[in-house]
Amino acid sequence: PPLPARTRVTAAGPASRTAPVVLGIAVFVIGALVGALSLEMLRRRRQITAPEPATATGGTAEWLAAPVLIAAPDPPCPVAEAQPSELLIGVLGTFTINGIPAALKPAQSQLLLSLALCGEEAISSARMCYLLGPDPDHPKPGDSLRQLITRTRRQLGRSSDGREWIEHRGGGWYSLHPDTRFDWDEFEELSERGIRESERALLSSALVLVRGEPFRDCDWWWLDQAFLQTVVAQITETALTLAELELIASDGRASAHAARTGLGVDPADERLWRALMRAEHEAGRPAGVEDAWNACLTVLADIALDGQPHQDTAALHRELTA
């Protein structure tokens, strides 16, 4: 920039010997100060942006040594977590695998149920393709069936002997591992023996397996309605037999419990309502008799042709409340 007037006059005069020396020292000092300031600013900037140095023990800084976060894999099937060496298929209530509802996808559950209903007998892949299709006119493709079996095997894991739960018998025939448990098979065996031998312990063990309406959520087209009615009839017959045996043994509470278990499956069975009223009377609970009678009337009002109970039910109510 242009010098002030006083500076121009001084500079125009004769220069002394010390002027260049003083001027050089001033320039040097100013340059040193500017350089030091620039180095300090650069050092601070590096401290902010640069990574931390290695630690004294040779390790890297904490943020650099932290593991890289990756997407978590899909959680394992709850079947494998529940009991990896056991496979229990439950249909006496909501469909479950090892006691867990919706443990598998619907197609996988349908596959296991079709195999379980065959018992120890094998089922052909052609038959499974037919059953697992959306309707009778559209069977499942063979490749899709093989992929479904592979995925289901992987999710179920292996049995205690290392074998697959879904076994290939050769020639396109499949069956479940012999150790597979099916609650309907167990119930049927206990029930038939208990009714035949009039054994309360067997009948009670059978009813323990009943969790509600059988085959709930199993709305697949190939399930035979006649078979489902047979299952319901077997459960109610078991409950009625046990209720009567407990009543003979003067155990009104156990008799009432058996009757209620049967009514939870078929509330329209008046034989069970009569058994429940007798059990409540035996237990010395007249209020329980009235509750059973009123509940029976409520149920039959919606399903009976005339909305009235059978004459035997009404006669029993009059007798017990006389």
Check if the beta carbon of residue 214 is closer than 8 Å to that of residue 237.
Answer: no
Give the number of other CB atoms < 10 A from CB of residue 235. 26
Question: 209, 227, 206: which is closest to 218 by C-alpha?
Answer: 227
What is the token pair recorded at 133? 């299709």
pLDDT number for residue 71: 34
Cβ proximity of 254 and 281 under 8 Å: no
Quick check: helix, strand or coil at residue 98?
coil
Closest CA to 204 of 191, 192, 215: 191
Phi–psi pair at 241, nearest 5 degrees: -60, -45
What are the structure tokens assigned to 167, written together? 């076994």
CA atoms in the 13 A half-sphere facing the CB of 265: 29
Q: How far is the C-alpha of 73 from the C-alpha of 82, rounded, in Å?
A: 19
Three-state DSSP at 38 gives helix
pLDDT at position 37: 57
SS3 185: helix
Residues 6+ apart with CB under 8 A from 202: 190, 191, 193, 194
Q: Which of 283, 293, 288 is nearest to 318 (CA)?
A: 293
Q: How many CB atoms lie within 10 A of CB 84?
A: 15
pLDDT score, position 31: 64
> Distance between CA atoms of 196 and 190, rounded to whole angstroms?
10
Token pair for 98: 């090892």
DSSP per-residue codes, 103-171:
-S-HHHHHHHHHHHTTTTS-EEHHHHHHHTSSBTTBPPPHHHHHHHHHHHHHHH-B-TTS-BSEEEEET
Q: What is the pLDDT of residue 80?
A: 37
Q: How far apart are CA 80 and CA 161, in angstroms?
A: 15
Q: What is the pLDDT along the chain (322 residues), one digit of tens a residue?
A: 444 443 343 334 444 455 555 566 665 666 666 565 555 555 554 444 443 434 333 333 332 233 323 333 334 444 434 445 789 999 999 999 999 998 999 999 999 999 999 988 999 999 999 999 999 999 999 999 999 999 999 999 999 999 999 999 999 999 999 999 999 999 999 999 999 999 999 999 999 999 999 999 899 999 999 999 999 999 999 999 999 999 999 999 999 999 999 999 999 999 999 999 999 999 999 999 999 999 999 999 888 777 789 999 999 999 999 8
Angle separating helix axes 183-197 and 200-208, nearest 10 degrees:
160
Determine how many CB atoms are found less than 10 A away from the CB of residue 213.
16
User: Phi first, then psi: what are they for 181, rounded to 5°?
Assistant: -105, 135
Burial class of residue 192 in the structure, from the number of CB atoms within 10 Å of its CB (0-12 exposed, 13-18 middle, 19+ buried): middle
Q: In this predicted structure, what is the pLDDT of residue 43?
A: 54
Q: In which region does residue 198 sit, left (phi positive, over 0), alpha (psi from -120 to 50) or beta (all else)?
A: left
At residue 36, the pLDDT reads 58
Residue 239's pLDDT is 98
> Helix crossing, 200-208 with 225-248: angle to 10°?
130
The pLDDT value given to residue 251 = 95
CA-closest candidate to residue 184, choices 119, 103, 90, 114: 90
